[in-house]
Structure 1
Amino acid sequence: MNAEPQSAHRFGQVALLGRPNVGKSTLLNALIGADLSIVSPKPQTTRHRILGIATYDNAQIAFLDTPGLHLGGKRAMNRQLNRVARQVPDEADVIVHVIAAPRWTDEDEQVWDLISRHEIPRLLVINKIDLVTEKSELLPFVSRISETRQYHGIHYLRATHGKGIQALLGDLVRHLPEAPAQYAEDELTDRSERFLAAEMIREQLMLRLSEELPYATTVEIEHFEQVGNLARIAAAIWVEREGQKAIVIGASGAQLKAIGSNARRRMEKMFGCKVFLELWVKVRENWSDDETSLRQFGYSG
């Protein structure tokens, strides 16, 4: 992708904010041209602030993917997700508010309430426009939103197919401050390979486990060693009850084997080397409602 030409080099941080399941992580991956942030059809897949870097001849953009701001959910994990999302606008030069057409919910309004306090450029991205069956309803829908809310630009996207990405990039670059690049040209993220490995395992848990079980799981990397073209990784999948452990393992270990195989292939593509992956399933009662456990598993900030 090429950013629109500018007279001077530009750099800035762009926060991607929105309620759960509007496609922020899919948008991040489309913007940087790599599968960095994990994606699933389930809301609240993203649990951390994920930085993704896109570098062009005339600009560099550091995108900040965030957990979806949500109402309800009284566990410590829910509070942590909202805390991370609320902190990110303070770091940003531009905010992108992502919504899913054709709905504006109470949670969308909560996001607007947060970003309206920041005197920086705000762009509205209306994602999933392919799901709008009556296209004639789209413009009145957007008109109602913008009547009482000020955005510096509005974009219509189908992030899964890259539709509208180039126009959004051009608009973002125009709103960035003039500044030199802050990251090396080949840098994709500030996250470690250990972190990315844990996320790729958790992605398979989100994709393969039904209903509420994925939200009772987290992943802890216990060993990560790379020698030559081989990475040896050992990881613990934590659940909250013994019954959940049996479901993650599956009959004769089939579910756990499939989770490991799919995650390993994803790691090999991302890391560019062979991966030997070992997985265990462990139980810690109600870890997602315990602040100490959350800190141990890397949920902090």
Structure 2
Amino acid sequence: MLDFPETLTAIPQAPPDFKSGFVGILGRPNVGKSTLMNHLVGEKIAITSPVSQTTRNRLRGILTTEQAQIIFVDTPGIHRPHHELGKVLVKNAERAINSVDIVLFVVDSAVPLGGGDRYVAELLSRAKTPVILGLNKADQQGKDAPELDQTYQALAEAQAWPWCKFSALTGQGLADLQHLLLTHLEPGPYYYPPSLVTDQPERFIMAELIREQILLLTRQEVPHSVAITIEKVEETPERTHVFAAITVERSSQKGILIGKEGSMLKEIGRAARQQMQKLVDGAVFLKLFVKIEPKWRQSRQQLLEFGYRVED
């Protein structure tokens, strides 16, 4: 069971040689940023899927060791936005650059350096925050590894960025990455209790687990058109009761989410409930509702109601 902010314990005094700091994980969509953070903190706190632009909120994952406390800030993938929601997500990712101690610029090293990576690199080159280049998906490079590495190493050398190669999926090279981050952190205090792995409330994680299953199980235009609201959580000695609303933009999307005789909604609920039971370490009853809000991603008011805003 995860420890959440609402159950905080005392924050201890850090020893003199203790290090701490905030590391922003940035990059274009679908390079494995959320998978990386989950592996580093040792718990599933960020959703992952084969669909790009999965992350919507600036989510913090907390890794505490005897030597340091590293707060990883997972950000939405930097891309060209196509609606108001996209603009908010990209703006938040860009703002994260100047609000952390180190930027970990993650790239997909299984494919050649592309225009999207160069765009992110250009943003980072103008920032004052130190940057480390992270070559993810090393396990997928194959025989082209030397050629692929060379293009990314050239980018790192041109910017005088240290770099590290790893696989967020298998864990290969993550010990080296953690050591590299540690060498670039300054002495500092505990920002959070050592048992905490995220600063997000339990309801937020529950909503994300539902959205993850929609990303995995539905198709076409549906995944990016959904917003999840946890309407109510009731705890009894036997189980936790969770009532959640899924908002979509069109009736056709509602039909896809519900499925024939409710089959898709049942599958989404079943899979999300299994993940929630790991989260709360107990039985969960999950009730899902689907409603329509036309063009909610274009409405600033509705974006605010769903919790999407440009962060400070």
Task: Indicate yes or no: 2:123 matched with 1:114.
Answer: yes
Q: Distance in 1 between matches of 2:296 and 2:113?
A: 33
Return the letter of the residue paired with 1:112: A
Deviations 1:135-162 (A, max 9, x none): 23134223432343221x2111111011
Return the letter of the residue paired with 2:273: R
Deviations 1:203-248 (A, max 9, x none): 0000001122101111111112223452211001111011111110
Task: Summarize the alignment of residues 149-168 of structure 1 with structure 2, pairs less than 5 Å apart.
Answer: 149-151=159-161, 153-168=162-177
TM-score (norm 1): 0.94
User: What SS does the aligned partner of 2:122 have?
Assistant: helix
Q: CA deviation at 1:88?
A: 1.0
Q: Distance in 2 between matches of 1:17 and 1:105?
A: 15
Deviations 1:238-266 (A, max 9, x none): 11011111110000101000100100110
Q: CA deviation at 1:188?
A: 1.1
Relative contact order (alpha carbons < 8 A, sep ≥ 6): 1 or 2 greater?
2
Return the letter of the residue paired with 1:94: I
Return the letter of the residue paired with 2:282: C
Q: Which moved more, 1:222-231 or 1:56-65?
A: 222-231
Q: Which moved more, 1:34-43 or 1:6-15?
A: 6-15
Cα-Cα RMSD: 1.5
Task: Summarize the alignment of residues 191-206 of structure 1 with structure 2, pairs less than 5 Å apart.
Answer: 191-206=200-215
Task: Indicate yes or no: 2:240 matched with 1:231.
Answer: yes
User: What SS does the aligned partner of 2:50 have?
Assistant: coil
User: Which of 219, 223, 241 is residue 228 of structure 2 equivalent to?
Assistant: 219
**Once superposed, which parts of structure 1, at least 4 consecutive aligned residues long, lie more than 3 Å away?**
none
Corresponding position of 1:79: 87
User: Which of 282, 293, 299 is residue 302 of structure 2 equivalent to?
Assistant: 293
User: What SS does the aligned partner of 2:40 have?
Assistant: helix
Corresponding position of 1:279: 288
User: What SS does the aligned partner of 2:163 have?
Assistant: strand
Q: CA deviation at 1:131?
A: 2.5
Q: Distance in 2 between matches of 1:121 and 1:42?
A: 30
Corresponding position of 2:66: 57
User: Which of 176, 179, 187 is residue 170 of structure 1 equivalent to?
Assistant: 179
Q: Which moved more, 1:136-145 or 1:254-263?
A: 136-145
Q: Distance in 1 between matches of 2:184 and 2:238?
A: 42
Corresponding position of 1:135: 145
Q: Distance in 1 between matches of 2:220 and 2:241?
A: 31
Q: Distance in 2 between matches of 1:87 and 1:142?
A: 24
User: Which of 97, 108, 111 is residue 100 of structure 1 equivalent to?
Assistant: 108
Change (3 A) 1:28 1:229: farther
Corresponding position of 1:3: none
Change (3 A) 1:229 1:60: farther
What is the number of residues matched between the two proteins? 294
Return the letter of the residue paired with 2:152: V
Deviations 1:42-74 (A, max 9, x none): 100000000000110110010000000002x32
User: What SS does the aligned partner of 2:98 have?
Assistant: helix
**Aligned 8 A contact 2:17 2:187 in 1:** yes
Q: Which runs of 5+ in 1 are unaligned?
A: 1-5
**Aligned 8 A contact 2:78 2:93 in 1:** yes
The percent identity for this pair of structures is 37
TM-score (norm 2): 0.91
Q: Which runs of 5+ in 2 are unaligned?
A: 1-14
Return the letter of the residue paired with 1:150: A
Q: Distance in 2 between matches of 1:29 and 1:180?
A: 23
Q: Distance in 1 between matches of 2:28 and 2:62?
A: 22
Change (3 A) 1:89 1:229: farther
Return the letter of the residue paired with 1:235: A
Q: Which moved more, 1:226-235 or 1:238-247?
A: 226-235
